[in-house]
Structure 1
């Protein structure tokens, strides 16, 4: 899919709309991760992926052929630059939020796995002086995908 523009001005206007919508969607996803509600980020995943692919494609076209936007009015090109800067800032915010969520999730999984390993401690001998070993690493666990 590509933008179907009549002239450079039309292309820049469409790129601004695309960038603004993508910025809005990514900001919503970042906010969902910051609020520890990643399930809320999933609502617009399809649209975000579609628009991100279109953005990637169009950005590559403009980089390869700057003449596609060069004749557009300076004020529009400046708006596109500002929209792109805002998009970059939101992407950085989302990256930080996702990284924080990943670290928290990995910590929880590691804590659960370690507790499972402790609970599964194996006896080494029998009788009143029996010993157990809790030094083993956690073993694989299965998570309920419906939870």
Structure 2
């Protein structure tokens, strides 16, 4: 999918609209993660993904052929540059929010796994030799270190 622009001015105007919409969606997603509501971020995921792919495609086209935007008015190109800077800032914010949510989630999973392991280690044995039964760590829970 690509932007169907009539001329460089039209292309830049459409890119500004695209960038501002994408910035808004990513900001909403970051806010959802910051508020501890990742499910709210999922509500806009489909549109965000679609627009992000369009943005990536158009950015690559412009890098390959700057004449697509060079003759657009300077004021519009400046507005696009500002919109892009705002988008970059929101992306950084979202990255921090997602990293914080990931860290919290990993901590919770580890705490639960440790608690399960400690409770499993306290099982009572049967028979005369049960007092010296070895205590082993729980192995039923797997932690994904890359999650």
TM-score when scaled to structure 2?
0.88
Partner SS for 2:43: helix
Tell me how far 1:95 sits from its aligned partner: 0.2
The yes-or-no answer on 1:6 pairing with 2:34 is no
* Change beyond 3 A, Cα 1:134–1:82: farther
Mean Cα deviation higher: 115-124 or 32-41: 115-124
Match of 2:62 in 1: 62
Partner SS for 1:20: helix
Partner SS for 1:6: coil
Distance 1:78 1:50 in 2: 25
The yes-or-no answer on 1:43 pairing with 2:50 is no
Tell me how far 1:114 sits from its aligned partner: 1.0
Match of 1:34 in 2: 34
Partner SS for 1:5: coil
Counting only pairs closer than 5 Å after superposition, residues 91-102 of structure 1 correspond to structure 2 as 91-102=91-102
TM-score when scaled to structure 1?
0.88
Count of residues in correspondence between the two structures: 141
Counting only pairs closer than 5 Å after superposition, residues 1-147 of structure 1 correspond to structure 2 as 1-121=1-121, 126-127=127-128, 130-131=131-132, 133-134=134-135, 136=137, 138-141=138-141
Over aligned residues, Cα RMSD in angstroms?
2.0
Distance 1:33 1:72 in 2: 37
Partner SS for 1:9: helix
Contact 2:124 2:130 in 1 (8 A): no
Partner SS for 1:130: helix
